[in-house]
Amino acid sequence: MLTERHLEIFVALAEEEHFGAAAQRVGITQPPLSQGLRRLEALLGVRLFDRDRGVALTDEGALLLPHARRALAALARLREIGAREQADGRRLRLGFAPEVPAALAAAVAAAPGRGGERPRLAVSTAPTTTLLSELSAGRLDVAVVRHPAVLDGLAAGEVVLAPTWVLSPEEPRGGGSALRLPVAVRPREDAPAAHDLFVDTLASRGRAVETVVISDERAGLALVAAGQAVLVTADRTLAAAGVARRPADDPALPLRLRVVWDPRGPAAAETAATARLLVDALAREAAL
């Protein structure tokens, strides 16, 4: 197997052009240096040095030398990054479903710092199904997702109900009632169970539910302002000219959220402690 030591021996010998000096440079004696060179040549299937003319690179050796130097530089850089990561402390990879309002997400993300922890945050936004997959794959540490959802072995905090509002056009297109407009929703595959619960709750009042799929709430707001849809949002700041706002209480349509994490990870206890801080922050901030 080709190792970093093989490359170090090759580069040192190419630059020093002397077995003794090269061995001293890499911190070994001459016999293991010669043995390492022979192994490297056997691995590559070429001669790297012409011993008949002192220590001179062959044509193949000259071609390999710049690649070996770049490989050693890349390995040194990798060690430097690893050392810096270690020195900078623990990293917390945190994900949020796009339905979580920005102010609420910010308050939750700040909770570890208020609790005395100082993790380096990496924050991302993705649909609930994607967040759950990323948690299971070990690419996220904690996420705030829509409820209900299939957790498949993941741990979760209590369900938090965030209040929502219905945004509707002040003057629906054609002068009709806003009740007859479609409801703007994100794609069902983003959070199937939560989507179905939302639609079923709307239908519980005996109203036929028509939906229009949007990419995000900004697109939904645009449709509302154009008089073509209504939107249910937990974002109290979402507003536009010509758009009316009322509490979503008939029927009640709270945004159901949970903090989720993987209890099987390598730092499970530490992650769970951080997750509890986020659970408390989510419950506290959602009630404000």
Q: pLDDT tens digits, residue range 136-154?
A: 999 999 999 999 999 999 9
For the chain, what percent of residues have pLDDT higher than 90? 60
Residue-wise pLDDT tens digits, 206-247? 667 899 999 999 999 999 999 999 999 999 999 999 999 999
**Other residues' Cβ atoms within 10 Å of the Cβ of residue 194:** 22
Smallest CA-to-CA distance from 124 within 94, 98, 150 is with: 94
- In this prediction, residue 113 carries a pLDDT of 86
Whether residue 264 has pLDDT greater than 80: yes
Q: What is the mean pLDDT of the chain?
A: 89
Tokens found for residue 136: 């299971």
- Rounded to an integer, what distance in angstroms lies between the CA atom of residue 89 and that of residue 257? 29
> pTM of the predicted model, to two decimals?
0.70
The beta strands (E) that lie in the chain are given as 49-50, 56-57, 91-96, 120-125, 142-146, 155-156, 160-162, 165-169, 183-185, 211-213, 230-233, 243-247, 255-261
Q: What are phi and psi of 160, to 5 degrees?
A: -110, 135
Tokens found for residue 16: 């020093």
